[in-house]
Structure 1
Amino acid sequence: MQLKIQFVVATLVLLIKFSDASSGDHSPFYQKCVAKCEIGNCTEDGKEFKEDTQAYINRITLWNCKQECQYDCMWQTVEAFHERNWRTPQFHGKWPFIRVLGMQEPASVIFSLLNAFIHFKMIKKFREKVRPTCPLVWLWHVYFIVCVHAWFWSAIFHYRDFLITEILDYACAFSIILMNCYLMSIRLLHDKVPKIVLSLVTVFFVFFFMSHAAYLSAGKIDYGYNMELNITVATFSALCWFSWCYYNRKRQKYVWKCAIYVALSGIVLLLELVDSPPYFFLIDHHSLWHLCTAPLVIFIF
C-alpha cells in the first residue's frame, strides 16, 4: 500500500513538472547547457556572476546570472531545433524573443506605449472640442487616466516579467474592461436615476475591481478565471453598447463611431487566439493586438 502511495505521489510530481515545462526548457540539450553555464559563470545561488561580464543595461534591468544562462542557452537550443528541422520551441511557456535594451518583448513594450501616447493626444483633442461644463466630461477624464495607467503597466510587464509586474498588468488590463462597463452604465443612468444610485454603482465597480485585484495577487494567478471574467464583462459591455447605439442611431448621429469601436475591438481580439512563434523573434500576435488597439482610440474621443 505504501509503495502504491509513493508511486502516485511521484507520478503527480512528474505531471506537475511536465505541465510547467515547454519543449524547449524540457529538452536535455537546454538543461545541460544551463547547468554547464551556471557552474562556469554563476555563484551557488545563481544570482551573481563570478566575474563581472554582464552588460550594464542587463544589470540595471535586473537580469541575474541564471537568467542570462537561460537566455543564452535558449538561442542555442532554438538553433539546435532548427538544424533538425523541428519547429521553434517555447521556453517556460513563452516563445523566444530577442532582448533589446533589456526588454523581454520589445514590440509589446513599444506598442503599449503607443496606446498610452494616443490616449494623451485624444484627450487633448477632447478638451479642445468639448466644454468643461458638459455632462460627463469628468467621466472621460477618468477613463483616460485608467487607460494610460493600464498601458504603462503593460509596458513595464513586457519589459521585465516579474510576479508583481504580471499581477499589475493583468489587474490593470481588467481595469480598462471594467471601466468600459462602468462608462456604459453611467452613460445610460446618469439622467434617469438619483445621484445616490450613481454613487452606489460607482462603489460597486470600485469594490468589484479591488476584489479581483486582491484575488489575482493571492498566490498563483488563476489565468482561467481571469480570462473568463474579462470575456464575460467585455461581452456584456459590448452588447449594451450595441443596444445603445441602435436605440440612438437616429437621434445622435455620432453613435456609429461607438459601434465601430466596439466591433473592431472584438475583431482585433482574435489575434490573441493565434499562438505561433514571433516574426523575426520580435513581433508576435499579442504585440500586434496592442498595435491594432492603438488607432481605435480615435473613435471614442
Structure 2
Amino acid sequence: MVDRYWITFFVLLSCLVGVLDASAGDADPLYRACVGQCKKTGCVGETCFPHCKFSSDGASLDGPWYMQEPLYLQWKQWDCLSDCRYNCMLNREKEMASLGHGPVKYHGKWPFKRLYGFQEPVSVALSALNLVMHFHGWLSFFILMYYKLPLGLDKKRYYAFTSLWHIYGLLSMNAWFWSAVFHSRDVDLTEKLDYSSAIALLGYSLILAILRSFNVRIEAARVMVSAPLLAFITTHILYLNNYQMDYGWNMKVCLVMAVSQLLIWAIWAGVTHHPSRWKLWVVVVGGGLAMLLEIYDFPPYQGFVDAHALWHATTIPLTYIWWSFIKDDAEFSTAKLLKKMK
C-alpha cells in the first residue's frame, strides 16, 4: 500500500510536526513586547484591526458587523490574538532580515504568509491535489472492477480485496481533505481531525498490508487479524483527542506502524515476484527519499514553499503509481484465478 506509504509519511509528518510553544521566535523579547502591546491597543505599528475592539475593562468586543472580518476569514477563527501574533511575526522577520538573520520558528511553525486567509496556501493546494489524485485513482479502480473485469457465476468479483481497497480510497481522500483544512488554519479542532484521519489511514493501511500479503480471504480470519489492530488504533486516537496530545508517543506509534507495513510490502513483492512489483518499489524508494525533505526542514521560500510543502508535492506522482499498482494487482489476481479454474 504504497499510498499508504506516503500517507504513512503524511502521518509521520503530522506526528513529527507537533505544535510547540517555545520556539526561538516567540521567545524573542521584542516579539513578546509587540504582541503584548497589540493585545492592549489592537494595533501593530500603524496597522490596526477593526475587529480588535476592547471595553473599558480590557475585554474584547466583536463590534458591529461592518467592523468585523469578512465571513471567509471569520470561519478560520482569525481573532485579535492571532492577528497580533501574525503581524508582529512579519514585522520582526523584516527587522531580522535587514540585519542579515534568517527566519526562525514562532510557536512551533515557520513564518508563513497568509493568502486570502489561508495559513499555508501552497500546502493547502498540494493537499487538495493529492485528494484529487486519490479520487482519480479510486474512480479508475472502481471502473476497472465493475465495468472491465469479468464476474463469477454468482455475480461476485474474482478479486477478493475489492471492498478493502474501496475503504482505503475513502480513508485516503478523507485524510487529505483534513490535511488541506489543517494547513488552511491550524487550530485545536483541525489539528485533531488531521491527526486522527492520518492515523486511521495509517492503521488501516497496516491491516490491509497484512491481509493482502498473506492473502487472507476468509471473513472470520480477517476479523481476527483486524480486531486487535482496530482496537489499538481507536484507543490511540481517543487518547490523543480526549486525554493528551502526546506528540512523542504518537510519533513512536506512527513509526512502528509505518515500518511494519513497509517491511511487509517489500518482502511480499520480492517473494511473490509480482509482475508490477517495480511500481511498489518505486513508491517505497520515492517515499523514503521524500522523507529527507522532512529531515532537512528549511524555512519557507518567500514565506510560502517549505520542505513540508515539497513533500506534499512528491506524493502526487507517487499516488498515481500506487493506484496503478493496485489496478495491476486486481487484474493479475483475477487472471491468475481464472487460469486455475480452467
Same fold (TM over 0.5): yes
The Cα shift of 1:121 comes to: 0.7
Please name the residue that 1:268 is paired with.
290
Please name the residue that 1:6 is paired with.
none
Please name the residue that 1:291 is paired with.
313
Please list the CA deviations of residues 238-281 of structure 1 after superposition, one character each: whole Å capped at 9, or x if unmatched: 111111011111xx311221222222222212211122210110
Please list the CA deviations of residues 101-150 of structure 1 after superposition, one character each: whole Å capped at 9, or x if unmatched: 21111111111111110011111221233337122111111110111111
CA RMSD after TM alignment: 2.1
Q: Does 1:175 align with 2:200?
A: yes
Unaligned runs of 5+ in 2: 1-19, 43-51, 150-155, 324-342
Q: Distance in 2 between matches of 1:155 and 1:183?
A: 25
Q: Does 1:225 align with 2:249?
A: yes
Q: Distance in 1 between matches of 2:99 and 2:251?
A: 36
Partner SS, residue 92 of structure 1: coil
Alpha-carbon distance change, 112 to 75 in structure 1, aligned in 2, over 3 angstroms? same
Please name the residue that 2:186 is paired with.
161
TM-score between the two structures when normalised by the length of structure 1: 0.86
The correspondence of residues 102-251 of structure 1 with structure 2, limited to 5 A, is 102-130=117-145, 131=149, 133=157, 134-191=159-216, 194-249=218-273
Partner SS, residue 111 of structure 2: coil
Of 278, 289, 307, which aligns to 1:256? Answer: 278
Alpha-carbon distance change, 35 to 119 in structure 1, aligned in 2, over 3 angstroms? same
Q: Distance in 1 between matches of 2:63 and 2:22?
A: 26
Q: Does 1:57 align with 2:75?
A: no
Please list the CA deviations of residues 39-90 of structure 1 after superposition, one character each: whole Å capped at 9, or x if unmatched: 2223234574699264553223211111111111111110111122122121
Q: 2:31–2:92: 8 Å Cα contact kept in structure 1?
A: yes
Please name the residue that 2:26 is paired with.
25
- Which portions of structure 1, spanning 4 or more consecutive aligned residues, are displaced by more than 3 angstroms? 45-51, 53-57
Q: Which moved more, 1:287-296 or 1:197-206?
A: 197-206
- The percent identity for this pair of structures is 32
User: Which one scores higher on RCO, CA 8 angstroms, separation ≥ 6?
Assistant: 2
Q: Which moved more, 1:150-159 or 1:195-204?
A: 195-204
Aligned amino acid, residue 110 of structure 1: A
TM-score between the two structures when normalised by the length of structure 2: 0.76
